[in-house]
Amino acid sequence: MLNLFLGYHCNLDCPYCFAKGFAEEYPKPLSTADFSRFLTWMKRHNLQSLGLLGGEPTLHPLFGDFLQELYENGIDVALFTNALFAPALREAISNYTANIVVNCNPFTSLTAAQQERWRSNMTALKDSGCRMTFSK
């Protein structure tokens, strides 16, 4: 499976994260043009699975659009996320991903609002029947 980094910014500051070191060097998220070129390349080579990573990939302003386009082109997506995404993205994530890989951080490292967002997102995804994998 190929991995595509949508950007290196994140809404957490995990001490083990390798991506945060790239945020200053690559401050802009993946452009629409670069995404389109990448998708064209995948289709040309008949590649059908992709991991979406970041920082936190769901922070990309066009995340939902990218996810839908990958789905419509027959690409199976594994989303690597901390599950603190905006509730507005739940439907796209549940409809257009093959697997959601949730990085679980200690709840003590999250604010009360982040803990509630995480619980709410996990409940919604579970109720929608999403395939989820948990990583510690």
Q: What is the mean pLDDT of each run of 10 residues along the chain (136 residues)?
A: 95 86 89 98 98 97 98 98 97 97 91 97 96 92
Specify the CATH number for 2-8+29-135; select among 3.20.20.70, 3.40.50.620, 3.40.640.10, 3.40.50.300. Answer: 3.20.20.70
The total of other beta-carbon atoms located within 10 Å of residue 95's CB is 13
Instruction: Give the tens place of pLDDT for each residue, 44-57.
Output: 999 999 999 999 99
Please name which of 75, 10, 64 lies closest in space to residue 38, comparing C-alpha atoms. 75
- Kindly tell me the burial class for residue 48, based on how many C-beta atoms sit within 10 Å of its own C-beta (0-12, 13-18, 19 or more): middle
Tokens 């001490």 belong to which residue?
15
The residue extents of the domains of the chain are 2-8+29-135
Enter the pTM of the model: 0.93
Angle of helix 32-44 relative to helix 63-72, nearest 10 degrees, comes to 20
